[in-house]
A and B are shown apart, each in its own frame.
Chain A
């Protein structure tokens, strides 16, 4: 047991940059990119899903079901092999993997948006329409400002989930925390010690994020 802790200390002193700078940096970068572009794409999928045009709505529904019904790792592989074929230049692994993450996250987030919007009482829409506001005004001035309160905390939780899911990107060696594990384990052959370090890093990140989400949730509730 003494060896175990001594090894951890040794690994940290030698490879801390790999874990904390490169690893955490790439994990956070990948998460931010995924959530940001996923949310933007998610808005469009949500709009399509809620559209009155039947084909558009069915397409969005079908696409969402396929994405949610297949493993994320598979989607990352598809992105990894497909994206270079679609681009005129040779994209980095990081970019290819990001595309997979973004599409996956967009599907989940579009459902978050949809349920957030539908959770707003129908009476609010009726009241706005009865005053003579059109559909767009009702959406932007009445429904969305209230839906945001349901959506933001859920989006925060998506952030936490994606942070953990980015570990799958280590399959493609893009440099996030789980890749650091592979690198350092390869050099030291100390699996358990490296895994412990990685576990603590992930836990610390998600713990902090969960506190922030919790604080946001409380803020949203009191502003009613």
Chain B
């Protein structure tokens, strides 16, 4: 479904002559229906890699094939492809000037995937699924962090994407709200949604993932089933990282 070939990305840092090389050749293949988690230390390139997958970050070298199309090519209409890739952000990024319902229906209607009436129906159905139906006409300012993130997930799902990208979806939440968001994601991946999840929630990662990638220093340093990566890590850097986060 998503295939990356030798992705490179660096960022210019103000006041520094040398750009920061964040991705140093990442090649990866995410298959349909697969749930792939990405773990690793901060600055290892996890989020940058995820944000490259829908071209929010444009890699300077390498290719990304989404459903067979090279979306790094110049003549590609990236908006059409992004409509099939949902993304959930660490800081929710819900639209504060729109009601909960409008947050969800805006994109399907603007991109002409649905009429307003169809989108409204879908919004209600999705909100009911995550337990937010009573917030339909509220503004996001009145929601808790956990509710905002559930809304953000629903907003992405309303586009009926083929794949969901999660960028540390629980990192900005108060501890007591992590569970409700993880439950929604769990339900989603169990329903067969192809997902790529950058996360620091090791227990969750172990439970839901088909495959775990350990990223460090801009490369995928180790990958395998959760069983392999967590119980029998081969790479010393993986071992060191896990010894620090699993206690």
Contacts and interface: CB of A to CB of B under 8 A. Distances in A.
Interface of A is mostly: helix
B54 interface: yes
B83 A123 contact: no
A124 interface: yes
Contacts, number: 64
A121 B93 CA distance: 9
B91 A224 contact: no
B82 A123 contact: no
Interface string B199-234: 000000000000000000000000000000000000
Contacts of A146: 96-97
B80 A126 contact: no
Interface stretch (A34-42, A59-67, A97-105, A134-142): A134-142
A132 B83 contact: yes
Interface string B40-84: 000000000000001010000000000000000000000111111
A126 B156 contact: no
Interface string A143-181: 001100100000000000000000000000000000000
B89 A141 contact: no
Given A126-B56, A141-B110, A224-B141, A132 B82 contact: yes
B97 A131 contact: no
A82 interface: no
A130 interface: yes
Given A132-B111, A133-B107, A127 B93 contact: yes
A129 interface: yes
Contacts of B94: 127
Contacts of B91: 123
Nearest to B77: A134
Residues of B in contact with A, size category = 20 to 34
Residues of A in contact with B, size category = 10 to 19
Contacts of A130: 54, 56, 82, 85-87, 89, 156
Contacts of A142: 95
Nearest to B102: A141
A131 to B, nearest CB: 4
B106 interface: yes
Residue of A123, A132, A142 with most partner-chain B CB within 10 A: A132
29 contacts: A121-B93, A123-B91, A123-B93, A124-B95, A126-B56, A127-B94, A127-B155, A129-B79, A129-B82, A130-B54, A130-B56, A130-B82, A130-B156, A131-B82, A131-B106, A131-B111, A131-B155, A131-B159, A132-B79, A132-B83, A133-B107, A133-B110, A137-B110, A142-B95, A145-B97, A146-B97, A149-B97, A224-B96, A224-B141
Given A121-B93, A131-B107, A131-B156, 16 more contacts: A123-B93, A126-B89, A127-B87, A127-B155, A129-B56, A129-B79, A130-B56, A130-B89, A131-B83, A131-B159, A132-B84, A132-B107, A133-B111, A134-B79, A224-B96, A224-B97
Interface of B: 54, 56, 79-87, 89, 91, 93-97, 106-107, 110-111, 139, 141, 152, 155-156, 159
Interface of A: 121, 123-124, 126-134, 137, 141-142, 145-146, 149, 224
